[in-house]
Structure 1
Amino acid sequence: METQPGASAHPPLSILWQDEHLVALYKPAGWLVHRTGLDAGETRFVVQTLRDQIGQHVYPVHRLDKGTCGVLVMGLHPAATRALAGAFAAHAVRKQYLALVRGWAPESAEVNHPLRPDDAPPDATAQDAHTTITRLARLDLPEPSDARHAGTRASLVLAQPTTGRRHQIRRHLKHLAHPIIGDATHGKGPLNRWWAERLGLQRLWLHAWRLQLPHPVDGRWITLDSGLRWPQATPGDGAAPWRDWQRVLALPWQND
């Protein structure tokens, strides 16, 4: 069946919250927030798809990497967009991410590791960057991903960044020597391929789980979450936008 002119070739995005001022949606992994010349071959863009889906202009106020899935917020008019962007800039937004990482991460860690922008020259001043890491569960599989080891270890971690540097969580977990599985830039290719084969999907296993922020009009705190539940994951919901993550949560975890 042919796609009608002006219609989206992709399934509709999952809306998590919407009023007359803002909309929160579930961004799928592999989608860009908006068009960019750096990824000219990509055809999946949140801004254009969401605009067509709800029939009005939408305005980005923050970003998620192409490989990251989960909660993304957009303003629906300029005043709300300015207020939301201001909350992000002032670090007044509480963010929680889930990540599948290599090895057994520490039970908790405060990472204060300044970061230079990716495209900055080597002599550029690094910017303050802080992330709290909490291990939620450990995994010890009997199958080796590396011939040097008898098995494969991984952790499910909660990452809470209080600053918003580009690729901050990915770079901070790499700094801890526990890179995110599927991270082609900061991880290890053979391990990423082993996990892709096991989980049936090659992707970055980073999930924007929950945002808490002040409403742009009345300032009340609102919580926006993806619907994914840990440790009470909802099994077998093939329509859930986070169904990929069910494969991860179904692994034989040892809860901390």
Structure 2
Amino acid sequence: MFEILYQDNNLIAINKPSGWLVHRSWLDKNESIVVMQTLRDQIGQHVFPVHRLDRPTSGVLLFALSSEVARSLSVQFASKQIEKTYLAIVRGYVNDEAIIDYPLIEELDKIADKFANKNKSAQEAVSFCRGLGKIEVPLKVGKFATARYSLVELKPQTGRKHQLRRHMKHIFHPIIGDSKYGDLHQNRAFTQYFDIKRLMLYASSLKVTHPITHKPIIINAKLEPSWQDILLNFK
């Protein structure tokens, strides 16, 4: 069963585990166990998605409990009224905070988007990044005698596909465990040292205006035990 972080008559938020698809997708048409159907069975009513998390990303995932509420929340997401906060472990040392303003070309799926315009110009994409802690471990990676990692806070200001993963790659601090945009050698070293193999990206908090009461709601997710153990090493 999913951990429920928030629930009322209109909304429900869960702590999504890594490895789950939010809904059935062309990305894996044979996958029958997905968040939407599992949560529906858990609470005994339909749920309506208003945003998504990548399959390997864990953390706060919000659903509406009616189509009307879903439409209202979708407007908030589209107009950038939602504040999303993530934690990530990345390659190298991130000492300060920065705004990553780097437009991204839309990534299209070969099957689901086969009729989409493939010549679109890059879209605005902005993310906030702040270093929270650092660690150096005695592992040789490539030409380096040790491996260095940082714990960072990330806040996407726009909602492009894989935005945080692509932005961190752009500034040469790819997220650990990212098989598509990351550093294969660093991923292997991290897995060897910490005995954990997954994307180290966690949706830790979501701030939204309640579509019925119009009051702000902040939904926080407690870090998984594997994350807690690793973060004890960061300074």
C-alpha separation between the residues in 2 aligned to 1:221 and 1:36? 32
| Residue of 5, 16, 25 corresponding to 2:5 | 16
Counterparts of 1:117-196 in structure 2 under 5 Å?
Answer: 117-119=106-108, 123-146=119-142, 148-196=143-191
Q: Which amino acid aligns with 2:67?
A: P
**1:33, distance to aligned residue in structure 2 (A):** 0.1
Partner of 1:4: none
How far does the alpha carbon of each residue in 1:48-82 deviate from its partner, in whole angstroms, 9 at most, with x for none?
00000000000000000000000000000111111
Counterparts of 1:23-172 in structure 2 under 5 Å?
Answer: 23-119=12-108, 123-146=119-142, 148-172=143-167
Q: Which amino acid aligns with 1:247?
A: D
Q: Which amino acid aligns with 1:125?
A: S
C-alpha separation between the residues in 1 aligned to 2:95 and 2:31? 37
**1:189, distance to aligned residue in structure 2 (A):** 1.5
How far does the alpha carbon of each residue in 1:5-50 deviate from its partner, in whole angstroms, 9 at most, with x for none?
xxxxxxx011000000000000100000001122134343100000
C-alpha separation between the residues in 1 aligned to 2:182 and 2:62? 28
Equivalent pairs, count: 228
C-alpha separation between the residues in 2 aligned to 1:92 and 1:74? 16
1:199–1:247 Cα contact (<8 Å) kept: no
Partner of 1:222: 217
Partner of 2:205: 210
C-alpha separation between the residues in 2 aligned to 1:139 and 1:244? 16
C-alpha separation between the residues in 1 aligned to 2:48 and 2:219? 17
Q: Which amino acid aligns with 1:227?
A: K
Q: Which amino acid aligns with 2:55?
A: K
TM-score w.r.t. length of structure 2: 0.93
**1:152, distance to aligned residue in structure 2 (A):** 0.7
Between the two proteins, what is the percent identity of the paired residues?
Answer: 43
**1:84, distance to aligned residue in structure 2 (A):** 1.0
Q: Which amino acid aligns with 1:126?
A: A
| Coordinate RMSD, CA, aligned | 1.4
